[in-house]
Amino acid sequence: MFKVGIIGATGYVGCELLRILINHPSVEVTAISSISFEGEEFSSIYKSFYKMTDLICKNKSDVIEKCEVIFTALPHGLSEDIANECLAANKICIDLGADFRLTREDEYKQWYGKEFFHKELHSKSIYGLPELNRDKIKTCKIIANPGCYPTSIELGLLPLLKNGLIDGKNIICDSKSGVTGAGRGLSQKTHAAQLNGDFAPYAVGSHRHIPEIEEILGTIAKEKINVTFTPHLLPINRGIISTIYTTPKKELMSYKFNSNIDISQKISSDKITYKEIKSDKIDLEEIYKLYCETYKNEPFTHVLPIGETASIKNVAFTNNCHISLHLNHRCDGIIVVSAIDNMIKGAAGQAIQNMNIILGINETEGLNFIAPAF
């Protein structure tokens, strides 16, 4: 059994990590820490853990000393020192914060207001999106677990960008998240009276995930990428759905409609069949085949059949990402819909997936969840 620990265990992400790790067959949660609740039993903070664990929140040094794998579920700016200690002790640090997600210090300073204090560590870390960096993750000891919104968007766009099929200067990402994405701390916007019955965008044009999204998409595409990213807060506990609007590169794709078909009538009646759409080079079925081929060996990323639409309900409480593909018939665009659970594939589950890869155990171990049917 591998010994693992959580620093920042009493936040929502830390709690979700512990919930999954307690039942993981190959690891033992040996120590946890919390500044706010040091000395208290975890089950006294979250009553759902009553009789499920006797772990007591201690300090971070206790976690680093006793564990082989350390998860840091902390606000940005607090994980660099811990990662440095872990590396010095030849231990693995999986950071669920933002400290290692950006490679450029000037970008990190601009968006997070902090500098890299241990600059040498950043060249030794890797961005922990398994579908992109699995081979590099296997040999790394500092993992930057991706952000929740970026995970949904990057998985949604990876096949199109990897194959150079869309214009990287005109990508619109319209994303919605459950309130757990805002963390455990209370704020005016997450107060029940404010949230209930409401639905609104926030951090319009200025969300901190923008540089992460653009950097990783640029790495995939091997060119500079610009996105318009607008997050929205849903009045639900968990889940993210991203609707991504893209424009095919004209030299690679052009769509033509059969002149004998009344497209407007078929769209309004929801009876359009994609086989009735003629394409000079690539049609939706070809794009669908590309996505299926890209993700055929991925245990958690699933492409839905043409005509179906990804939804939060079908991925809730799982480590899955559901992707659906659609055509924008009016302007020959490709619309990608990507759904994940922000607390699992967008945070704790993906971190454990990274741990499994590093430890050389089955990547799906401890993560084979099925979404509740109702």
DSSP state string for 262-331: -HHHHHHHT---GGGEEESS--HHHHHHHHHHHTTT-SSEEEPPTT----STTTTTSS-EEEEEEEETTT
CATH number assigned to the domain covering 2-123 = 3.40.50.720
- pLDDT at site 243: 98
d(C-alpha 226, C-alpha 246), whole Å = 11
The residue extents of the domains of the chain are 2-123, 149-340
What is the predicted pLDDT for the residue at 191?
72
Amino acid 275: pLDDT: 42
- Which residues have a catalytic role annotated? 148
Taking the C-alpha atoms of residue 107 and residue 216, their distance in angstroms, rounded to an integer, is 13
**Right CATH for 149-340 from 3.40.50.12780, 1.10.630.10, 2.40.50.140, 3.30.360.10:** 3.30.360.10
DSSP per-residue codes, 31-81: EEE-STTTTSBHHHHSGGGTTT---BEE-HHHHHHH-SEEEE---TTSSHH
pLDDT at 216: 98
Amino acid 116: pLDDT:
95
Question: pLDDT truncated to tens, each residue of the chain (374 aa)?
Answer: 999 999 999 999 999 999 999 999 999 999 999 999 999 999 999 999 999 999 999 999 999 999 999 999 999 999 999 999 999 999 999 999 999 999 999 999 999 999 999 999 999 999 999 999 999 999 999 999 999 999 999 999 999 999 999 999 989 999 999 988 777 766 767 777 777 888 889 989 999 999 999 999 999 999 999 999 999 999 989 999 999 999 998 655 543 433 333 433 433 344 434 344 444 445 889 999 999 999 999 999 999 999 999 999 999 999 999 999 999 877 778 999 999 999 999 999 999 999 999 999 999 999 999 999 99
